[in-house]
């Protein structure tokens, strides 16, 4: 019998990766929500305290985006959904 290969979609990989950063965001009263994942472009919405935080752009790009690109190489860009 051929071996079963469990291929995860890019969206599934992104969701799993976001679960790893979620506790740190929640510890500060925030959260992140995946809005879409299309052709390597991931859109997320920051929630709670993160939504209005002056450091949210840094959190988004230097934290979440860097981690996503490292863990999920298919990710080309991270965008903030409104």
pLDDT, block means (10 residues), the chain with 82 residues: 68 96 93 95 95 90 94 95 83
4 within domain boundaries: no
Burial of 13 (0-12, 13-18, 19+ CB in 10 A): middle
18 within domain boundaries: yes
2 within domain boundaries: no
- Kindly report the CATH number assigned to the domain that includes residue 15: 3.30.300.130
The whole-model pTM stands at 0.85
3 within domain boundaries: no
The domain total for the chain is 1
Domain containing 22 equals 10-80
5 within domain boundaries: no
43 within domain boundaries: yes
């Amino acid at each position: 019998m051929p071996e079963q290969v469990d291929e995860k979609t890019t969206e599934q990989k992104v969701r799993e990766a976001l679960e790893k950063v979620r506790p740190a965001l929640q510890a500060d009263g925030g959260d992140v929500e995946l809005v879409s994942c299309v052709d390597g472009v991931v859109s997320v919405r920051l929630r709670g305290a993160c939504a209005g935080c002056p450091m949210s752009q840094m959190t988004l790009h230097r934290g979440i985006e860097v981690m996503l690109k490292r863990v999920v190489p298919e990710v080309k860009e991270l965008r903030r959904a409104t």
